[in-house]
């Protein structure tokens, strides 16, 4: 529930040695990039021998993504807090019926508990996003070691559940990003993911209210926030059934987030 208070998801802490190693590696990245206002500094030119072992894909930006790769009229559908055995299949069905691809921001233990759903999401052409282990909306007030554990353990859980497909994005619970967490995620190839329109669906205000909020706030930008877990998401499913065709009627296409 990216736009709301914590829900008490409780993840298992990884072993101290792993946490220390992850923090040490991530801290070197953050230290080099901190103060860049969300953008990565140019990488130094490597020697010929170093370039031979450098990954072909450059590190992603540490800036928080809000834009869409689909162009000026595109919107990004993002779905948080799952997967859930009741609601994720229904959300997938609505997306499939409308020919829409989305980004699913998954809680690590949820992915671990429902690998079949994670693989269905991937098989349908949607993208994965790391939404931490415990969905702690106060993690921006916590230590770097804690932030590292929350992000990296969830990345491992989601990757294993998917059969090896790594999350492309990291969304901080409640938007609780820090410079450290953004650069840590980027160093692992995960683009920090924000949102422009909070549908408020997590509060279950009624299907009509969810639809009205999205229509009213759509001018704020292309990245829309919905949820497929954390309680009864029937209003979300119903709202998507109306909103996806409406967005098409308004001339919108659908894309994936970019910074």
pLDDT tens, the chain, 259 aa long: 444 433 333 333 333 333 333 333 433 333 333 332 233 333 333 333 333 333 445 579 999 999 999 999 999 999 999 999 999 999 999 999 999 999 999 999 999 999 999 999 999 999 999 999 999 999 999 999 999 999 999 999 999 999 999 999 999 999 999 999 999 999 999 999 999 999 999 999 999 999 999 999 999 999 999 999 999 999 999 999 999 999 999 999 999 999 8
User: E strands, 7-125, where?
Assistant: 67-68, 74-80, 102-106
Catalytic residue status for 227: yes
Q: How many residues does the chain have?
A: 259
Give the start-to-end residue ranges of the domains of the chain. Answer: 16-37+62-258
pTM of the prediction? Answer: 0.79
Three-state SS for 80?
Answer: strand
DSSP 12: P
Catalytic residue among 80, 130, 136, 201: 80
- 137: number of Cβ within 10 Å: 20
Catalytic residue status for 80: yes
Distances (CA, A) of 23 to 132, 144, 177: 16, 7, 16
Catalytic residue among 114, 227, 228, 252: 227
Over the range 85-110, which residues count as b (16 or more CB within 10 Å of their CB) and which as e? eebbebbbebbeebebbbbbbbbbbb
Fold of 16-37+62-258: TIM Barrel (3.20.20)
């Amino acid at each position: 529930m990216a736009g709301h208070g914590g829900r008490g998801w409780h993840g298992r802490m990884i072993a101290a040695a792993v946490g220390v190693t992850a923090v040490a590696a991530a801290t070197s990245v953050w230290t080099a990039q901190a103060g860049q206002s969300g953008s990565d500094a140019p990488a130094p030119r490597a020697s010929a021998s170093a370039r031979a072992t450098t990954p072909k894909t450059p590190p992603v930006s540490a800036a928080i993504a809000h834009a869409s790769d689909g162009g000026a009229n595109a919107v990004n559908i993002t779905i948080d807090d799952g997967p859930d055995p009741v609601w994720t299949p229904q959300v997938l069905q609505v997306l499939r019926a409308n020919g829409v691809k989305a980004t699913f921001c998954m809680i690590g233990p949820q992915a671990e508990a429902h690998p079949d759903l994670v693989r269905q999401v991937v098989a349908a052409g949607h993208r994965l996003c790391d939404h931490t282990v415990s969905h702690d909306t106060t993690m921006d007030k916590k230590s770097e070691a804690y932030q590292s554990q929350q992000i990296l353990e969830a990345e491992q859980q989601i990757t294993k559940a998917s059969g090896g497909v790594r999350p492309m994005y990291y969304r901080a619970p409640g938007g609780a990003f820090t410079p450290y967490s953004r650069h840590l995620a980027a160093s692992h190839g995960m683009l920090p993911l924000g949102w422009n329109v909070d549908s408020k669906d997590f509060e279950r205000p009624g299907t009509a209210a969810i639809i009205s909020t999205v229509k009213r706030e759509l001018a704020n930008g292309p990245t829309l926030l919905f949820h497929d877990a954390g309680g009864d998401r029937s209003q979300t499913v119903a709202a998507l059934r109306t909103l996806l065709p409406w967005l098409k009627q308004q001339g919108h296409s659908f894309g994936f987030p970019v910074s």
